[in-house]
Amino acid sequence: MTHIDPGLTGAQMTLSSEEHRRLAKRYRRRTTLTAYAFLGPNLVAFVVFLLIPVVWLLVSTFRTGGVLGPAEFVGLDNWRDTFSDPLARTSIRNTVLYSAMAIPAVFIIAMILALALHAIPRGGAPIRVALYLPTLQPAVVAAFIFTFVLHPDFGVINYAVRWLGGDPINFLGDTTLALPTIAGIEVWRGTGFWTMMFLAGLTALPGELYHAAELDGAGAIRRFIRLTLPLLRPTFYFAVIFATIVNLQLFDSVFALTDGGPVNSTVSVSLYIYRSLFLFGDIGFGATLSFLLVITVLLLTGLQTYLLRDRK
């Protein structure tokens, strides 16, 4: 039953329901158009700089040449070459191995630092700045710094090793040491970033929960395992996927420090793509490897979106 306000009598709707429908439709359309107008520029950038290049990349995987001579359709040749090329397999293996070393290491170190920074009541600011500085270095500068740290003859580490009576270690010239060394440098560069990320996550957790847990008898370690880790899950999902995406594209520190050597022990997928495209001029092969990398990154992004979806 309609409730009539007894204080007002005789008030009538001024428009017919037909007119209301028409006006509502126009109103909604205007709102939608405004939204598209603001999305437009981004959409253009997305299409021009991402969608078209990826499609062009996919087309290029079925062709050869195209820079100096005319492009030629070769079917699945590039795909066959990619999967049968031992160096392509090595580059994938190196990249995966590198990620498996660098990501867990940087997360564990950053988590410990974040917990420590979160626990100290004051004086954290200068430490945070110091920790973040390596992240601000371009990889080439970091590589330059580490040349002086790691060099077999005049690097500080080997200076210390010799002083202690040991034989100098050729960090970047040894096939078993080179990849872990590059991973170590990337960990050094990334620690500040991930420490800030985890610290932000920790700061956002409600303090009352920790008071409750303290009263409930949970010690520091159990508070970390039973509360902090599960509560930081969204942060971790983001961190793992994002770090994987970034690390799969490992290029600059390898390029600056070892150029893939010794004996291809540090060739990463990105470096191999760069070589194929710009040194060997093998567009089809480079495009295929690139396309594989893009698809992997897209799949990981999809996984991240799935894991981070709002669950109640």
Partner 1 sequence: MSAMSPRADVAVSLIQVAKSYGDVEVLQPFDLQVAEGEFVVLLGPSGCGKSTILKMIAGLEEVSHGEIHVAGELVNYVRPRDRDVAMVFQNYALYPHMSVRDNIAFPLTMSRRPRLKRGVIEARTVTAADIVDLTPYLDRKPAQLSGGQRQRVALARAIIRQPAVFLMDEPLSNLDALLRADMRTSLLEVHARIKKATLYVTHDQIEAMTMADRVVVLNAGRIQQIGRPRDLYTAPANTFVAQFIGSPRMPLHDLEVRDDGILHFADVTLTGDADVPLAPGASVTVGLRPSALRTTSSASACFVGEAKRRDYLGSDSYLEVDLGEGLSVVVRAEADAEVRPGDTVRVDADPGAIHVFDEAGARICGASVCRRER
The smaller minimum CB distance to partner 1, of residues 6 and 121, is found at 121
CB of 230 to partner 1, least distance (A): 4
CB of 225 to partner 1, least distance (A): 11
Range 203-232, binding partner 1 (CB under 8 A)? 206, 208-209, 211-219, 222, 226-227, 230-231
Range 171-210, binding partner 1 (CB under 8 A)? 206, 208-209
Q: Extract the tokens encoding 266.
A: 């540090």
CB of 214 to partner 1, least distance (A): 5
Taking a C-beta distance cutoff of 8 angstroms, is the pair 210, 219 a contact? no
Alpha carbons 181 and 151: distance in angstroms, whole number: 12
Range 228-267, binding partner 1 (CB under 8 A)? 230-231, 233
The smaller minimum CB distance to partner 1, of residues 44 and 220, is found at 220
| Count of residues that bind partner 1 according to CB under 8 A | 19
Under the criterion CB under 8 A, does residue 307 sit at the interface with partner 1?
no
The smaller minimum CB distance to partner 1, of residues 300 and 307, is found at 307
Residues of this chain that interact with partner 1 (CB under 8 A) are 206, 208-209, 211-219, 222, 226-227, 230-231, 233, 312
